[in-house]
Structure 1
Amino acid sequence: MSAPAANTGHRIGFVGTRFAGTDGVSLEAAKWAKVLWRHEHISYWFAGKLDTDPSVSTLVPHAYFGHPDIQWINERVYGRTTRDPEVTRRIYAIADHLKRSLYEFVSRFDIEILCIQNASCIPMNVPLGVAIATYCAETGFPTIAHHHDFYWERDRFSVNAIGDILRMAFPCTVPCIQHVTINSEAQRALSHRRGMSSVLVPNVLDFEKPPQAVDDYNSDFRASIGVEPDDILFLQPTRVVPRKGIEHAIALIKSLGNPKCKLVVSHESGDEGHEYLHMLQDMAVSQGVDLRYIPTRVGEERGVNDDGQKVYLLSDAYAHADFITYPSLYEGFGNALIEAFYYRKPVLVNRYSIFVSDIEPKGFDVITMNGYMTRDVVQKVQAVIEDPTYRERMVEHNYELGKRFFSYAVLRRKLRALVTNVTGLEDL
């Protein structure tokens, strides 16, 4: 296949376990595709779970980490140090099937650049990582590997029976792959552990486009979830998993001692079981905190849920929020924090490591805590709630910094360099 002429679009194949829903990888991949599409590149999709246009997509069920065969493997390779030969056989058998599917995907759509989205760094689907590694080793295909999370960052993968495979495929280090990391700690770790350089591309939002405001559709959001017009709505815009530290948001509301303060959690539980959700609900009851858990009311599209209730966008929830809580213990980047800046909302941040290294030095005006709630933190939140002038100055300052450091314009410049790196042609 001859190389395309400079300044023409490329056919780019996005490869991952899942491109569906509102998880961080799916959202960031969609942003990349949107920016690339604006510059005449065409995006195609390969995954085990998809909500993309079927005419530009290849659905391969074994690429999804939730497939029963993949779950069977995961149950036998983590939390132990040796594996049965049958596990090895299945890993490579499924990897061979997935590799052949990649060959067919590239051929069917005449793909020119592969863009791997998190499938070569976090071993949720071991055979898919092996398939990508062997495909790249066999073809030398121009590939951009976008790494959101590395396995060595997660305790759940620290004891495993696949060290040989992890070193080979997570990530694969063949020369045709241009690695991309989303924070400076990951960039340093990749260099130290694998001797590989990478391009740092932060997660972004479209700061050039005004955020969703209160409109005719979402004007009843508060009433719909049982929150009064004069209540102070604290929004926790994250999934319910332990690393989000939501117990600190409950402690904050308790310490404020204002019955008008309501905590609304927008996303679902279940990725790591429901025990954490139940603990939070019990904690809220015992401390007299009004906690509203509304994942069935916030979705990817406006409409109606299975119970006939009105469904809102996350942007609708942000439009009505008075304050954002983000007390995460660990984050690969921190999308909800950038969203708070974008929607011009004040925010409480637990000083997780990536915030300290990559976001805080930019000069954002946020209320910070260091792993626990203090009287000083509570007083600062109270001051933001009570002083609208101070609050407005804070959120406008953060919006302007967000536009400078985490906008689509930043992503556009980064993608131009990445496409040039793997093709040798000036682009975008």
Structure 2
Amino acid sequence: MPKNIGFISTRFAGTDGVSLESAKWAEVLWDDRHVSYWYSGRSDREPGISYVVPEAYFGHPEVEWINERIWGRTTRTPLVTSRIREMTDYLKTTLYHFVKKFQIDFIIPQNVLTIPMHLPLGLAVTEFLAETGMPAIAHHHDFYWERTRFAVNGVTDYLDSAFPPSLANIRNVVINRPAEEQLALRKGHSTLLIPNVFDFDKPAPQPDEYSADVREEIGLTPDDVFILQPTRIVPRKGIEHAIKLVGMLKDPRYKLVISHDAGDEGLDYLHMLDELAKEEKVDVRFIADRVAEVRQRDSLGRKMYTLWDLYPHADFVTYPSTYEGFGNALLEAVYFRKPMMVNRYSIYIQDIEPRGFHFAEMDGIVTKKVVSHVQRILEDSHYRAEMVEHNYRVARRFYSYTVLRRSLRTLMTSLTGWGNGG
């Protein structure tokens, strides 16, 4: 029998990893006719299958008030404890309403039992699961011990009990090997590793009438080489290395296009990149004002494109990140059959590199050897075509929906005994 699945997070909206991967999980679960419903503080899912509780969003004023008083200090006041408790109880009530309204059989907490951006929500989900015994798959993207901002805190008791909790009705899923090792070491939990995935059995979308003019609209000529940096402008993305690469290529046709804005981590890094580009004489196009989560027109009547509108037009992708939980943009580039330069960040070394992909790899710095490899990729069409086809075959084997489907069926069967697909 098909089941009703309840996804729970602070936000299901936009292009963050949690929102993207949860949508893929729901798509795969639908193959077995399981219907997904969405509980969150913000949502872009269909209203008829969504349960939006504003207090469940990590940016809610009450959550921000609590966060200001529990991080960066080693104790908390009785008032803070009281307000954590009040919000936890309220959110737990809304979880019961959500489950009753949609007749939920199984829940999938998405990162809310992993990183304490919203401490009361994690506590509420933990208590709900402890009280009901409902089967759950906790999908963990990034743990609190991976972020320095959570290292000093006054809520160790809560972190120990709920991030993640030790309950027999929960199965833990992580997206990389170090997380698997750390969870076993710190909590004694067994896990299943399910990496980020793409539907590699379905060809990537190609430009249509709407997106056919992307290059022209961002100011590129037919002779320009479109080098795409498909990330936000934050320090861990290592975008200075992309600028250095283009500078060392010494060809004015090469244009570096950065798709997203500086987000909520300040503008200092953006200003540094701007100055570096001038020093290196690199033509950088910051096009965040032309990129949106959905196609639309801006206030000036200009087209807004999605990231997936950009990929087909790109000639090369740079991914010089210094840290990633996995690397969604890496798989996207492979999905669109684009060659790329990758920095060998730790998760890449442990989880992705052994799969046998062919990229231009840098190891912390852009060397002449790296530049020569990139030049060959850009100038040798036969070599480039073989590279991207090889990468697609590797990704289809290890990061496809088929892999995810098999893992989810195994997890659900182990928790419920429903058998394959229900």
On whether the aligned pair clears a TM of 0.5, the verdict is yes
SS in 1 for 2:347: helix
Q: CA deviation at 1:309?
A: 1.2
Q: TM-score, normalised by structure 2?
A: 0.98
Q: CA deviation at 1:370?
A: 1.1
Q: CA deviation at 1:161?
A: 1.5
Which residue among 191, 209, 234 is the counterpart of 1:241? Answer: 234
Which residue among 366, 380, 384 is the counterpart of 1:387? Answer: 380
Asked if residue 75 in structure 1 is aligned to residue 61 in structure 2, the reply is no
Asked if residue 23 in structure 1 is aligned to residue 12 in structure 2, the reply is no
Q: CA deviation at 1:74?
A: 1.4
SS in 2 for 1:268: coil
Alpha-carbon separation, structure 2, partners of 1:18 and 1:245:
26
Greater displacement, 124-133 / 78-87: 78-87
Alpha-carbon separation, structure 1, partners of 2:233 and 2:300:
22
Report the counterpart of residue 396 of structure 1 in structure 2: 389
Report the counterpart of residue 291 of structure 1 in structure 2: 284
Deviations 1:184-228 (A, max 9, x none): 111111111100001111100111111122332211100101111
Report the counterpart of residue 64 of structure 1 in structure 2: 57
Which residue among 89, 92, 105 is the counterpart of 1:99? Answer: 92
Runs of 4 or more, structure 1, over 3 Å off, are none
Which residue among 412, 419, 422 is the counterpart of 1:426? Answer: 419
SS in 2 for 1:395: helix
Asked if residue 13 in structure 1 is aligned to residue 6 in structure 2, the reply is yes
Alpha-carbon separation, structure 2, partners of 1:363 and 1:325:
19
Asked if residue 123 in structure 1 is aligned to residue 116 in structure 2, the reply is yes
SS in 1 for 2:91: helix
Asked if residue 216 in structure 1 is aligned to residue 212 in structure 2, the reply is no
SS in 2 for 1:234: strand
Asked if residue 50 in structure 1 is aligned to residue 43 in structure 2, the reply is yes
Q: CA deviation at 1:269?
A: 1.8
Q: CA deviation at 1:97?
A: 0.6
Asked if residue 344 in structure 1 is aligned to residue 334 in structure 2, the reply is no
Report the counterpart of residue 164 of structure 1 in structure 2: 157
Alpha-carbon separation, structure 2, partners of 1:403 and 1:306:
40
Identity value in percent: 56
Greater displacement, 76-85 / 19-28: 76-85
Asked if residue 409 in structure 1 is aligned to residue 402 in structure 2, the reply is yes
Could you tell me which amino acid in structure 2 is paired with residue 390 of structure 1? Answer: Y
Alpha-carbon separation, structure 2, partners of 1:278 and 1:414:
44
Report the counterpart of residue 3 of structure 1 in structure 2: none
Report the counterpart of residue 34 of structure 1 in structure 2: 27
Deviations 1:58-115 (A, max 9, x none): 1111111111111111122112212222211111111111111101111111100000
Could you tell me which amino acid in structure 1 is paired with residue 266 of structure 2? Answer: G
Question: Matches of residues 166-245 of structure 1 in structure 2 within 5 Å?
Answer: 166-245=159-238
Alpha-carbon separation, structure 1, partners of 2:149 and 2:271:
22
Could you tell me which amino acid in structure 1 is paired with residue 222 of structure 2? Answer: P
Greater displacement, 296-305 / 341-350: 296-305
Could you tell me which amino acid in structure 1 is paired with residue 3 of structure 2? Answer: H
Q: TM-score, normalised by structure 1?
A: 0.96
Which residue among 261, 265, 268 is the counterpart of 1:268? Answer: 261
Alpha-carbon separation, structure 2, partners of 1:88 and 1:227:
56
Deviations 1:101-152 (A, max 9, x none): 1011111111000000011101111111111111111111111100000011
SS in 2 for 1:219: coil
Could you tell me which amino acid in structure 2 is paired with residue 286 of structure 1? Answer: E
Report the counterpart of residue 302 of structure 1 in structure 2: 295
Could you tell me which amino acid in structure 1 is paired with residue 298 of structure 2? Answer: N
Alpha-carbon separation, structure 1, partners of 2:230 and 2:129:
37
Alpha-carbon separation, structure 2, partners of 1:305 and 1:113:
40
Q: CA deviation at 1:300?
A: 2.5
Alpha-carbon separation, structure 2, partners of 1:237 and 1:173:
38
Report the counterpart of residue 131 of structure 2 in structure 1: 138
Alpha-carbon separation, structure 2, partners of 1:75 and 1:281:
32
Could you tell me which amino acid in structure 2 is paired with residue 248 of structure 1? Answer: H
Asked if residue 313 in structure 1 is aligned to residue 306 in structure 2, the reply is yes
Could you tell me which amino acid in structure 2 is paired with residue 320 of structure 1? Answer: H
Report the counterpart of residue 105 of structure 2 in structure 1: 112
Alpha-carbon separation, structure 1, partners of 2:70 and 2:251:
49
Could you tell me which amino acid in structure 1 is paired with residue 353 of structure 2? Answer: E
Report the counterpart of residue 5 of structure 1 in structure 2: none
Asked if residue 147 in structure 1 is aligned to residue 140 in structure 2, the reply is yes
State the Cα RMSD in Å: 1.1
Alpha-carbon separation, structure 2, partners of 1:249 and 1:76:
39
SS in 2 for 1:125: helix
SS in 1 for 2:66: helix
Greater displacement, 296-305 / 362-371: 296-305
Alpha-carbon separation, structure 1, partners of 2:272 and 2:301:
28
SS in 2 for 1:45: strand
SS in 1 for 2:12: coil
Gaps of 5+ in 1: 1-7
SS in 2 for 1:299: coil
Alpha-carbon separation, structure 2, partners of 1:382 and 1:264:
18
Gaps of 5+ in 2: none
